[in-house]
Structure 1
Amino acid sequence: MTQAPETETTQRDYPALLREFDLFNPAHEEWKYDAFAYAREHCPIVRTEAGTGFWLITRYEDMRRILEDHQTFSSVQGSPAPTPVRLGPLDADPPVHTGLRKLLNPVFSKTFSLRFEDEMRANCRMLIDSFIDNGRVEILGEFAGPFVSRTLARMVFDEDDQDKMAAAIHVTDAVTEEGTPEAFFNLAMLSAAYLAAALENPPEREGVLRALVTGEIDGKPVPEEEALGSLNVIFLGGLDTTRSSIGNIVMQMAMHPELEQRVRNPRWVRSDMDEFIRQQAPVCTFARNVTRDVEVGGIRMKEGDRVLIRFDSANRDDKKFPNGSQLQFEPPRGGNAGFGLGIHRCLGAHLARVQIAIAFDELLARVTNFRLECAPEDIVWKPGIANAPDRIPVTFDKVC
């Protein structure tokens, strides 16, 4: 199924569907965008009893208000589903959140990310070499996934031993290729082992591990639980999101061939990339916990309630982005929440942009004319926090 543009319809009982909406139910992917469009028009904050029960936030302005008020809407234990580990700055409030971001922001800046540009480009070329003669590729599993996982493994673990680096890449590749509990467990164990080694012998080079084991929050070392949580967030937040963004852009070019020329223009990274990300937000949703009785959009929320912020719905709110379900490049549309808003704006946003730009620079140097191997309605979208299809099989022509 595809995530088609929202259309007003009377064929479904959207109020009833919204009351049972479950972000982890695959069947709900079929109608969620239509249901959110209905909600934005008729009931922008609606209660769903799925999981622990949430207030669904579907409009842009309500989303912005919540994201910019961390005192009332806490991120502590903010994951929509229980997690066995902390998630670093993502599930923390100030001052812990502020301290972690201060330590990690420098090693996720555009300047720092570009230190790895040559290696990123080499990885892209190697991956393209593996499928260029086939005339087809499953863009997520054969290109975007391994490219992103290898970049993160290199940046985070910064391993000089090539055999150990290859083993680390193998573990991170498995997360994107398999997505099994065992693969995520192995990645968590790998992160824990590297963190323990770094605590015993801090790395000399600037990087993620050095920042976490030598940095301080309020004059104290970063708690090991928070440091490990930060590593988990970097991988869990960075793998699926950038991977899916690359895949989504390829899919749009396959369905709308005229878009290839826009992406070939070096200036596309200035605003066109943002429009692709707005229309298919790489992160669908995350949760907040209400810390005091409050009213939002005419709805009374009580202390202890949970809200589910739908970035994918807010990014298509026609009141903020006219004709919001469609790509519209002119004039540029700023302010989207594809990488979040407020203090929890995505830590890896600069890195993601660099990766996406490099991926298409290398890809389009060698291939052209993407075409979907299946009907658009046969693309299956995975449920959950990330906004990603299961597979995107495409054919292409070589650049002469």
Structure 2
Amino acid sequence: MTERDYPALLRQFDLFDPAHEEWKYDAFAYAREHCPIVRTEAGTGFWLITRYEDMRRILEDWETFSSVQGSPAPTPVRLGPLDADPPMHTGLRKLLNPVFSRTFALRYSDEMRRNCRDIIDGWIDDGRVDVINQYAGPFVSRTLARMVFDEDDPEKMARAIEVVDRVTEEGTPESFFDLAMLSAEYLAAAQDHPPERDGVLRALVTGEIDGRPVPEDEALGSLNVIFLGGLDTTKSAIGHIAMQLALNPELESRVRDPRWVRQDMDEFIRLQSPVATFARNVTRDVRVGGVEMKAGDRVLIRFDSANRDDAKFPDGSCLRFDPPRGGNAGFGLGIHRCIGAHLGRVQIAIAFEELLARVTRLELDCAPEDIVWKPGIANCPESIPVRFKKVSS
């Protein structure tokens, strides 16, 4: 097999194989042009969905492409609402949407800013920082701990981060079981929370769907998803944007402009989709993009490939801010769009406002090709080391 034998590479593509991170974008680009829906026999076997329009069609037809048991890796736990279809999915989203609204997130904005400043204080005099592990990671975990879990114990959140990392990178039944145990502990503790402590946990333990309490497995599944999404995707987005600023110094002025959050943020998110992929199950024979799929087949939706589809986003493998281009699937798309997207956007905006108040002239502290991206469901680098100059007081 030659280096450019993309058909052969695609037939063995495994989202959990670290080596495949090195060539996946080139292979997806080949697929979009020559074989946009291609079969891989890795794992349980999937149809890879690489083009935007095919992705959209599948995501808008939940009856034909079910999310039930939609995890790309077999899992012994629920991941609702991510792996639920209507009406259960509808009920869970209705219950959780209020505590993941932009308004709810902004209640904690002052605390988020204090956390950013405290974290920056720890390395501001060093002139360099690993944006992922010394800034984005601690900031996101502190926000999640306080806002979602009302948790002040850093050791407990460190354990949560370790469990989430294993789930997203390995996808083993053992890692999912550990995640379920973690979620169960928090839900059990929430039973004794006083009524004035509103938020996610209270919504899950006291809320109702169609007049009945939330089923225990669905409550656990919802918390599993919040752990996974909350700790990984926003951290990745912050890290990637920082990397782009380090590689393209002219972008700093754009991100310093408060208006960047309206449209520029979406372009950063489009290019390096925090949510890389998720699966669907085919419920009946169907034809998509000229490919015959059978009931029981599984499809692997590559949000990160669809977001670089030139047919939807011209010159899709590059950042292009003008004119603005919407509709990206960086946080998913359709009824299963990431429930924490509003929170994530608030966190990203605050993270860069506080960062750029203290530092300027970011430069990558390694060769770009030395950045290692983790395999799995999210697109997240292991580290992003940068150098910087302190902003003059």
TM-score w.r.t. length of structure 1: 0.93
Structure 1's 175 and 132: CA in aligned 2 closer, same or farther, altered over 3 A?
farther
* Residue 222 of structure 1: how far off its partner (Å): 0.4
Question: Which of 321, 327, 338 lines up with 1:329 in the alignment?
Answer: 321
* Contact 1:114 1:354 (C-alpha < 8 Å) held by counterparts: yes
Deviation at 1:184, TM superposition (A): 7.5
Runs of 4+ in 1 over 4 A off after TM superposition: 173-188
Question: Are 1:29 and 2:21 matched, yes or no?
Answer: yes
Q: Is the 8 A contact 1:138 1:394 kept in 2?
A: yes
Structure 2 equivalent of residue 20 of structure 1: 12
Change (3 A) 1:169 1:49: closer
Structure 1 residue aligned with 2:87: 95
Matches within 5 A, 1:360-379: 360-379=352-371
Asked if 1:196 corresponds to 2:188, the answer is yes
Tell me: CA distance 1:183–1:140, structure 2 relative to 1, closer, same or farther (3 Å). farther
Among residues 159, 170, 176, which one is paired with 1:171 in the alignment? 159
Q: Helix, strand or coil for the counterpart of 1:258?
A: helix
Q: Quote how far apart the aligned CAs of 1:334 are.
A: 0.5
Larger mean Cα displacement after TM superposition, 203-212 or 186-195:
186-195
Deviations 1:252-290 (A, max 9, x none): 111111111110010000000000000000011000000
In 1: Cα distance, 2:175 partner to 2:103 partner: 31
1:35-63 CA distance string (max 9 Å, x none): 11111111100000111100000000000
From 56, 68, 74, give the equivalent of 1:64.
Answer: 56
What residue in structure 2 maps to residue 110 of structure 1?
102
The residue matched to 1:91 in structure 2 has which SS?
coil
The 1:126–1:175 alpha-carbon spacing in structure 2 relative to 1, beyond 3 Å, is farther
Answer whether contact 1:150 1:173 (CA < 8 A) is retained. Answer: no
Cα 1:337–1:228 change in 2 (3 A) is same
Contact 1:58-1:314 within 8 A present in 2 as well: yes
Secondary structure in 1 matching 2:25: helix
Instruction: Note if contact 1:168-1:190 (Cα within 8 Å) is conserved in structure 2.
Output: no
Give, in angstroms, the shift of residue 198 of structure 1.
2.4
Aligned equivalents of 1:24, 1:102: Cα separation in 2: 33
The alpha-carbon deviation at position 11 of structure 1 amounts to: 5.1
Structure 1 residue aligned with 2:347: 355
In the alignment, which residue of structure 1 is the partner of 2:45? 53
Give deviations 1:84-138, integer Å, cap 9, x for gaps: 3111200111111111000000000000001111111111011000010111111
Aligned to 1:235: 227
Q: Is the 8 A contact 2:76 2:176 kept in 1?
A: no
- Contact persistence 1:203–1:209 (CA under 8 A): no
User: Aligned equivalents of 1:54 and 1:185: distance in 2?
Assistant: 24
Which of 192, 215, 218 is matched with 2:210 structurally? Answer: 218
1:365-399 Cα distance to aligned partner (Å, 9 max, x none): 00011111111011111111100111111111100
8 Å CA contact 1:374, 1:393 repeated in 2? yes
State whether residues 153 and 169 of structure 1, in contact with CA within 8 Å, keep that contact through their aligned partners in structure 2. Answer: yes
> How many angstroms does 1:217 deviate by?
1.3
Within-5 A mapping of 1:248-327: 248-327=240-319
**What is the DSSP-based 3-state SS (H/G/I as helix, E as strand, rest coil) of the residue aligned with 2:82?**
helix
3-state SS of 1:133 partner: helix
2:202 & 2:211 partners in 1: Cα distance?
16
Letter in 2 for 1:268: W
Output the aligned Cα RMSD: 1.9
Letter in 1 for 2:347: Q
**2:160–2:182 Cα contact (<8 Å) kept:** no
Q: Aligned pair in 2 of structure 1 residues 167, 109: CA closer, same or farther (>3 Å)?
A: same
Deviations 1:266-323 (A, max 9, x none): 0000000000000000011000000000000010000000000000000000000000
Alignment-mate amino acid for residue 251 of structure 1: M
**Where does the alignment leave 5 or more consecutive residues of structure 1 unmatched?**
1-9
Length-normalised TM-score, structure 2: 0.94
The AA in structure 2 aligned to 1:109 is S
CA displacement at 1:358 relative to structure 2: 0.3
Helix, strand or coil for the counterpart of 2:108?
helix
- Following TM superposition, by how much is the alpha carbon of 1:354 offset from its aligned partner in structure 2, in angstroms? 0.2
CA distance 1:212–1:239, change in 2 (3 Å): same
Provide the C-alpha distance between the structure 2 equivalents of 1:359 and 1:176, rounded to a whole number of angstroms.
Answer: 22
Asked if the contact 1:141–1:176 (Cα under 8 Å) also holds between the matched residues in 2, the reply is: no
Q: Distance in 2 between matches of 1:11 and 1:257?
A: 33
CA distance in 2, matches of 1:394, 1:277: 20
For the Cα contact (< 8 Å) 2:193–2:202, is it kept in 1? Answer: no
Moved more, 11-20 or 198-207: 198-207
Residues matched between the structures, number:
387
- 1:128 maps to 120
